[in-house]
Amino acid sequence: MKPRAYWNPYFAGVVLGLVLLATFMVAAQGLGASAFPKRLIALWASGVDADWTARNVALGSYVADGAFPLRNWLFVEVIGVMLGGFLGALSAGRFRVTVEKGPRISVRARLGYALAGGTIMGFAAGLARGCTSGQALSGGATLATGSWLFMLMVFGGGYAVAWFVRRQWV
Amino acid sequence: MSAIFPLAFASQEVSLLTAVVLGFLFGFTLERAGFGNARKLAGQFYLHDMTVFKVMFSAILVAMVGIYGFAALGWLDMSLLWINPTFIWAQLVGGFLLGAGFIISGLCPGTAVVSAVSGRLDAVVTFVGVFLGTLLFAVTVDVFPWLERLYDAGSLGTSLLPDLFGIPAPLLALLVVLGAGLAFLGAEKVERMFAGRYAAVENSPTVRPRLKFVVPGALALLAIGATVAPSPRPRPIIPEFETISAGDVARRLIAREPGLLVLDTRPAADTANAGLPGAQRAALDSSTVPLLTNLAAGQLVVLYDGGGKLTTLPAGWPVGPRYAVLAGGLAAWREQVLAPAAPRDASLAERERVAEQNQLAAYFSGATVAAPSAAAPPPAAAGGGGAKKKKAGGC
């Protein structure tokens, strides 16, 4: 089956912007993604060492006053993202178990890059207090200074490194 | 003027229901935009597919105009919105690293979620990496003081570009719209220039098709299971001890809870820091039993030591009272009640919490050694937080 075509990027952007606007109107905050791993890590870490987690700079606020870190708007939102993405891919005929990669790289090497890139992003999202969703997109729409700095540097970092990993993609 | 938005929900369940709905729309839109495909996303950085830029900036424009427009009309109270606080250096360095990780993995954390539930194994692996990186940051920021300094470096608090530049928000929003319009024209031109250079993004051959529903299904089940799972209790120090937070003890002391017994179980030689107000020194042996024998059943007895390392209930102590160990011990009391740290990540929930702690600190500092009965402290200011602020956090 031939997959359904992608939306026009500007149309997709407008829809995404309306979803983001609705999120601010309803939930008083933007959308996010990296809260999901952060809060699961906080839950796991508090099971291993509750005191360490409560004092940890990156995780402490998620377990403050005995709060359950997963009972949180952003965490539940990411579950919605999973469902929406899954049904979106399924309904478009795009659901395929496969590895996306350029023609010049092996599957194993591609997965190695994926793990390394993901690890760097997890670290970066911790340091920057958010990722492309929570900082660049949501913070950008509120015209927050740090979010715009972050967004510019995301593109800067991507272009700076792209040449070195070009074998993976093109 | 009281604005209609943001909506305030009486019930957290309803609020979380909106999270599922809006998250669903977020994920669906990202998928339809093509963000479930790492090759398409990577095209942004080889200039032949500028979809990332076009979608992201269209979305930012729409939401920005909506937020500032509704605020200008008085429909939206912007002061209640969670605005990402600015930490210049953390965000510059973190942004650069995230961009590097983006092109190395081909995905960002949010699109990795969408791609993973589209069946892409590279995205599943990327998301595993994000977990590892999150843990790595939490551990290293604890170990390396320079990393913690970087994390907090260049803090401006809530800083908005219109205020920073001294430009009225509507004018700045207009400039952003015009700038983005020009950038869209440029993106179209660049895309055409580079379009023929690389093969267009097509789906790669399928591997292991039988896993079709396993990967996203397992992910969703894990997430739902984790959410509905009962909240784990704080790990008890020994089973019959419960723990009590420093803030809770402080509130009980302010309220002069009748019969409340606070026992300082540090070794008698440990007098480095003054104990809790009204606390009695008590050895962890049978010599303390007379203090405990005439208590009502269920009477709260708070025990603490220097650093929350209390592990054993001494043999012979009566089982009637309700023993609770001060979590973190005297160190936690000093840290949380006497000298609360400034908010590191100034989310509103955190700010509210620290504000309340500071009220407690104002009450107890200077009166730390006086027993409540001897020198009655002044009546506390109204307890609890200030105006109810919206919760936030994370990405």
What is residue B258's predicted lDDT score, i.e. its pLDDT? 82
Residue B228 pLDDT grade (very low, low, confident, very high; cuts 50, 70, 90): low
- CA of A136 vs chain B CAs: smallest distance (Å): 9
pLDDT tens by residue, A69-89: 999 999 999 999 999 999 999
Question: Three-class SS of residue B341?
Answer: coil
Q: Identify the CA nearest to B141 among candidates A137, A112, A124, A22.
A: A124
CA A145 to chain centre: 20
Q: Which residue has the higher pLDDT, A39 or B11?
A: A39
Which residues does residue B324 pair with via DSSP β-bridges, in sequence order? B242, B302
**pLDDT tens profile A27-51:** 999 999 999 999 999 999 999 999 9
Range in A88-92, A140-144, B250-254, B263-267 with the lowest mean pLDDT: B263-267
Q: Give pTM, 2 decimals.
A: 0.69
Give the one of A25, A30, A84 whose C-beta lies nearest to B25's C-beta.
Answer: A84
Partners of residue B135 in chain A, C-beta under 8 Å = 41, 45, 122
Of the pLDDT bands very low, low, confident and very high (cuts 50, 70, 90), residue A67 is: confident
A73 and B19 Cβ atoms separated by less than 8 Å:
yes
> Amino acid identity, residue B43?
G
- Examine the pLDDT at B238 and tell me if it is beyond 50: no
Alpha carbons within 13 angstroms on the beta-carbon side of residue A54 total 19
CB contact under 8 A, B97 and A110: no
Distance CA B200, CA B48 (A): 8
Residue B331: C-alpha distances to residues A146, A154, B246 (Å): 34, 40, 10
Choose between B351 and B137: higher pLDDT.
B137
Chosen for mutation from A1, A98, A152 (greatest number of chain B CBs closer than 10 Å) is A98
Question: B340: which chain A residues are within 8 Å (Cβ-Cβ)?
Answer: none
Inspect the interface and report whether the beta carbons of B39 and A100 lie closer than 8 Å: yes
Range of lowest pLDDT (A18-22, B165-169, B275-279): B275-279
| Shortest alpha-carbon distance between residue A106 and chain B (Å) | 12
Are B134 and A131 in contact (CB < 8 Å)? Answer: no
Sign of the CA dihedral with B301 first, then B307, B308, and B313 last: negative
| pLDDT per position as a tens digit, B345-377 | 456 666 677 767 767 766 775 444 334 443 344
Do residue B33 and residue A6 have CB atoms under 8 angstroms apart? Answer: yes
For residue B389, the model assigns a pLDDT of 41
Give the gap in angstroms from C-alpha B174 to the nearest C-alpha of chain A. 12
CB contact set of A93 (below 8 Å; sequence gap of 6+): A1, A2, A3, A4
Average pLDDT over residues B106-115: 97
Chain A from 13 to 32: CB within 8 A of any B CB: 13-32
Average pLDDT, chain B: 79
pLDDT at B187: 93
What pLDDT sits at residue B49? 92
A–B interface: beta-carbon pairs under 8 A: 665
Answer yes or no: do B125 and A118 touch at CB < 8 A: yes
SS3 content of chain A, % helix, strand, coil (to 5): 70, 0, 30
- Tell me the nearest-neighbour CA distance from A20 into chain B, angstroms: 6
Alpha carbon distance B43, B101 (integer Å): 15
Cα B332 to Cα B144: distance, rounded to the nearest angstrom: 22
Contact between A82 and B216 under an 8 Å Cβ cutoff? The reply is: yes
Q: Give the distance from residue B262's alpha carbon to the nearest chain A alpha carbon, in angstroms.
A: 20
